[in-house]
Structure 1
Amino acid sequence: MTRDKLFALIQYPLPHHLISRLVGKFAECRIPWLKHLFIQAFIRHFEVDMSQALEPDPTAYACFNDFFTRAMKAEARPIGDGLVSPADGTLSQYGRTYHGTLVQAKGQAYSLTTLLGGDVHRAAPFRQGSFATVYLSPRDYHRVHMPLAGTLREMVYVPGRIFSVNRATANHVPALFARNERLVCIFDTEQGPLAMVLVGAMIVAAIETVWAGQITPLSGEIQRIRFDEPITLEKGAEMGRFKLGSTVVMCFGREVDFDDLSIDSMVSMGERLGGVGPIQRIRYQDGNAASSAG
C-alpha cells in the first residue's frame, strides 16, 4: 500500500467537521503573542511571499484567518484576456465534460449532477461543456475571483464530508469533489452559464462570498437560494474566499478553447487559461431566435 493511499484511507473514520471547527476556532484567536507565533511559523514553513500582500507586515493582522485571506496588491495579480484563473493554485485538471462526467484524476471520474447538488435540471446546461479545477495549497492567495464577468442566478449549499483535498486524496477517494461539503454558485455570462463550485476540505473552517458573507458551516440539508435582485461581478472581481485550503471547480456550458496548459502546473489568479467568445443571438426571418458561439 502506498503512502498516498494510506493517507486517504485513514481519513474515512475521522470526525472531519469537528476537527475543522476546532481549527477554525484557533484560527480566530486574537491573543497577540499566540497568533503572531502561528503566523510567523506558517510563513516560514510554506515560504509565503509577503511582499505581494497589500499589508506586508504579518503582525498587523488581527488573527490567523485575516492573514490567511489577506488581500494582494493590484499589480501583483494583473487580469489577462480571455478566461482567467479564479485563484492562485495548481491546475489539477481541465478539459471537456462528456455526458455529465468530469475528470478528478487519472482513472477517477465523477458526476456533474452530484457535484452541482443532485438537480438534473441545474446540471443540464453543463453536460456537454468544459471544466477546470484549481487546487489552492496552504501557501497560496486564498481569495476566489471571477474568471469571466457574470450575474449570479443561484447559490446552493451542499453538505458533505470534508476530506483533505490534495493529489493523494484526488487519486484515492472516489468522487472527492462531489462528496465534500461545497458551495455551488451559478452565473449567467455572455459566454453562457458558469458554475463556480467552492469545495470544502479538512480544516477549512468556512467559505465566504462577497454578497452573503460566511456560508459554511450550515446544516445537513441542501439549501438553495435564488436572487431576484441582480448581483453582477466583473471579470477579476472577488467572489469569495476560503478560511484555510481547498479547491475551485469551474463548469462551463460550452466548449472552452483552453491554451496548451500542463496538468499540475501552477497558475496565478488572473492568469489566462484560454479563450471563449460571446454567445450571439441570431434573428431569423420568422422572428425566432437561436444562440450560436461567437
Structure 2
Amino acid sequence: MLQQEDLNFLLTNRIPRIALTRLMGKFSQIRHPLLARASIAIWRLFTDLDLSDAKKQKFDSLHDCFTRELVAGARRVDMATEVLSSPCDAIVGACGQVEGRQIFQAKGFPYSMQDLFGPTQDTSAFQDGMFVTLRLTSAMYHRFHAPQDCTVEHVTHIAGDTWNVNPIALKRVERLFCRNERAVLRSRLKTGEQIAIVPVAAILVASLRLHFLDLLLHVDYQGANELPCRASFKKGEEMGWFQHGSTIIVFAPKGFTLSPGIGNGSRIRTGQALMQLPQPS
C-alpha cells in the first residue's frame, strides 16, 4: 500500500505541474469530435465517469465534457430556509468546527484560515465556525451553485501552485490548500450571515470561470487580485465552474452545524443539505 501511495504521489506531484496543467488546458480545448471521443474513452478507463445525466451526449472537445451541463431536474436542491446546501457534487474530505482560526486538511496537518484566505482578508467572521472540504474527482460534474440565497460581495484571487489535492497528497504536503491557486468568494446570506466559498485548483485544473465577473481565473491570470462585486443569487443558481476536478472549501460562522449524514468520506450531490443555519432562540 505504501509503495502504491509513493508511486501515485510521484506520478502526480513530482512532475512539472504548472507546465503540464498549461498543456492539458490547451489539449482539452482542441475542438475535434473524434479526438474528444477517444479522450473520453480513455478517461473512462481510469474513472467512474457517468454522462447519463448530461444535457448533451456528443462533445466537441474534452473541455466541453469537463464543463458539461446537466439535464433539468438532475439535481434536487433542498430549498428549506434553514439549510445551506452543497454547492457541488463531491466527496467530503474533512469537516467540523474551526479550532479558533485553524483547520485540518488531514490528520496532523493543520493550516490557518489567514493563510488560506490571504493577507488582505479578515477571517474573524469564521472563528470557531464550521467548515466542510468538498473534493471533486475528475469524473464529477464540475459546475458549482449558490448554497443559499446570497450576494457575493468580494472575490480574492491568490496565485499559486497546482499540487494534486487527492488524499495521498493531503497526508504528505503541509498546508497544501494554502499553496495552490485559489479564489475566496466572500458572500452574505439573505438572513445576514457571512459565508465563504473557496475553490482551490489542482494539477491539470487551474482555471475557474466565475459567471458574475465574466472572468476566467487561471495560472497565467495577470489581472487584479482583489475583485469587489455585488452579485445576487437564488439558492441553486449556477455560479461558475472548474475546468476539471478539484476542491471547494465552505466556511460558515459559529452557530452553524453539519447536516445529518455529513462526515469524512461521505458523498454528496449538488443541492443536498450540507449545513444547518442557527435557529432563532
* Partner Cα distance (2:31, 2:244) in 1: 17
Q: Give 3-state SS (helix, strand or coil) of 1:75's partner.
A: coil
Instruction: Read off the aligned partner of 1:25 and give its amino acid letter.
Output: K
Alignment of 1:128-277 (within 5 A): 128-189=128-189, 190=191, 192-211=193-212, 212-219=214-221, 223-227=225-229, 230-260=230-260, 261-277=262-278
CA contact (8 A) 2:117 2:184 kept: yes
Instruction: Read off the aligned partner of 1:79 and give its amino acid letter.
Output: V
Provide closer, same or farther for how the CA distance between residues 38 and 11 of structure 1 changes in structure 2, counting only shifts above 3 A. Answer: closer
* Partner Cα distance (1:265, 1:65) in 2: 27
Provide closer, same or farther for how the CA distance between residues 134 and 83 of structure 1 changes in structure 2, counting only shifts above 3 A. Answer: same
Cα deviation digits, residues 70-107 of structure 1 (max 9, x gap): 11123110001311111111011111111110121122
Instruction: Read off the aligned partner of 2:73 and give its amino acid letter.
Output: E
Cα deviation digits, residues 40-91 of structure 1 (max 9, x gap): 3324542322221111x2xx32211111111112311000131111111101
Cα deviation digits, residues 205-254 of structure 1 (max 9, x gap): 41111112311134589811112xx3101111111211111000011123
For normalisation by structure 1, the TM-score amounts to: 0.86
Tell me what 1:74 maps to.
72
Q: Which runs of 5+ in 2 are unaligned?
A: none
Deviation at 1:199, TM superposition (A): 0.3
CA contact (8 A) 1:145 1:240 kept: yes
For normalisation by structure 2, the TM-score amounts to: 0.90
CA contact (8 A) 2:30 2:61 kept: yes
Q: Which runs of 5+ in 1 are unaligned?
A: 279-292
1:62 aligns with 2:60: yes
* Partner Cα distance (1:10, 1:23) in 2: 15
1:103 aligns with 2:104: yes
CA contact (8 A) 2:33 2:59 kept: no
* Partner Cα distance (1:39, 1:96) in 2: 39
CA contact (8 A) 1:160 1:180 kept: yes
Which is greater in Rg? 1
Q: Give 3-state SS (helix, strand or coil) of 2:254's partner.
A: coil
Deviation at 1:155, TM superposition (A): 0.6
* Partner Cα distance (1:54, 1:219) in 2: 30
Alignment of 1:31-46 (within 5 A): 31-46=32-47
Deviation at 1:11, TM superposition (A): 5.8
